[in-house]
């Protein structure tokens, strides 16, 4: 095996979870075709009608709890276990926990996690797979009505950005898996990695909007294409 890449960053989007039976956002039957982003995923929507927003995530939570990782997640586990890089990091836009369930390491949930709740009063973050309601009390500061799903809504800052910026600037292989590349700043990560000298490769079912920034395009379901790619890297 040639130790070609010292630092690898893997950006993932909803497409990597599609073969686990989870809906993507922008497909015909995707979440954003059934719900308006303005009603369930903006900070204004949450301020206007927190119970409605909680209901949306309460409905989604059990589905994500049940979902199981697919061969694309397992391929990342294999890569992290066997490839002699200094660091292989996962930057995910997904709020599901399939990377964790597959045993992946070094995971940064830049859009938050479905199983985390943040208190807007004291900042305390706790984990739960249970329903949460607008009038619930924070288990830490005991103030009522301040709990929010720890999911980054449009209009909020992404999580771990400083760390991710450093990872992108220092990586020499950048993989983008199952993301449409339309939501910034994640859509711009490929540009940072490429400018800093990384080889860039995307895995998708179709051509994406920032396609020209990738050195290699691997078209097909990630559950098939990623294990093959990892196998090639491990030769």
Residues in touch with ligand OAD (CB under 6 A): 13-15, 18-19, 24-27, 30, 41, 93, 111, 152, 178-180, 183, 203-206, 208, 221-222
Q: How far is the CB of 74 from ligand OAD (least distance, A)?
A: 14
Q: How far is the CB of 175 from ligand OAD (least distance, A)?
A: 12
Q: How far is the CB of 22 from ligand OAD (least distance, A)?
A: 10
Residue 124 bears catalytic tag: no
| Backbone torsion region of residue 160, taken as left when φ is above 0, otherwise alpha when ψ lies between -120 and 50, otherwise beta | left
Q: In this complex, which beta carbon is closest to ligand OAD, that of residue 1 or of residue 34?
A: 34
Please state, in angstroms and rounded to a whole number, the distance separating the CA atoms of residues 170 and 189.
12
Q: How far is the CB of 103 from ligand OAD (least distance, A)?
A: 20
| Residues 101 and 21: beta-carbon distance below 8 Å | no
DSSP β-bridge partners for residue 151: 112
Please state, in angstroms and rounded to a whole number, the distance separating the CA atoms of residues 186 and 176.
10
- The active-site residue, picked from 35, 109, 111, 133, is 111
Q: In this complex, which beta carbon is closest to ligand OAD, that of residue 7 or of residue 18?
A: 18
Q: How far is the CB of 112 from ligand OAD (least distance, A)?
A: 7
Q: In this complex, which beta carbon is closest to ligand OAD, that of residue 15 or of residue 227?
A: 15
Q: Which residue has the closest beta carbon to ligand OAD?
A: 15
- Quote the Cα angle for 57-62-63, to 5°: 90
What 223-228 contacts at long range (C-beta under 8 Å, 24+ apart), as own/partner pairs, is: 223/19, 223/70, 223/71, 223/72, 224/71, 226/71, 226/72, 226/75, 226/76, 226/177, 227/71, 227/72, 227/74, 227/75, 227/78
Q: In this complex, which beta carbon is closest to ligand OAD, that of residue 88 or of residue 152?
A: 152
Q: In this complex, which beta carbon is closest to ligand OAD, that of residue 48 or of residue 140?
A: 48
Cβ partners under 8 Å of residue 215, min gap 6: 194, 199, 200, 201
Active site residues: 111
């Amino acid at each position: 095996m040639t130790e070609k890449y010292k630092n690898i960053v893997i950006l993932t989007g909803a497409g990597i979870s599609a073969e686990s039976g989870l809906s993507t956002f922008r497909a015909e039957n995707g979440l954003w075709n059934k719900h308006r982003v303005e009603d369930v995923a903006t900070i204004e929507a949450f301020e206007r009608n927190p119970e409605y927003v909680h209901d949306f995530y309460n409905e989604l939570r059990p589905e994500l709890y049940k979902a199981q990782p697919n061969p694309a997640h397992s391929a990342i586990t294999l890569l992290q276990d066997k490839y002699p890089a200094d660091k292989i990091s996962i930057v995910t836009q997904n709020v599901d926990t399939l990377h964790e369930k597959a045993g992946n390491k070094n995971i940064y949930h830049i859009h938050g996690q479905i199983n985390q709740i943040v208190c807007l009063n004291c900042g305390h973050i706790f984990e739960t797979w249970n329903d949460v309601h607008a009038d619930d009390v924070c288990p830490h500061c005991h103030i009522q009505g301040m709990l929010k799903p720890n999911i980054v809504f449009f209009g909020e800052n992404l999580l771990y950005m400083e760390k991710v910026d450093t990872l992108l600037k220092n990586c020499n292989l950048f993989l983008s898996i199952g993301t449409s590349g339309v939501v910034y700043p994640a859509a711009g990560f490929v540009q940072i990695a490429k400018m800093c000298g990384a080889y860039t490769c995307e895995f998708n079912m179709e051509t994406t909007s920032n396609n020209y920034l990738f050195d290699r395009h691997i078209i097909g379901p990630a559950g098939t294409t990623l294990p093959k790619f990892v196998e090639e890297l491990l030769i």
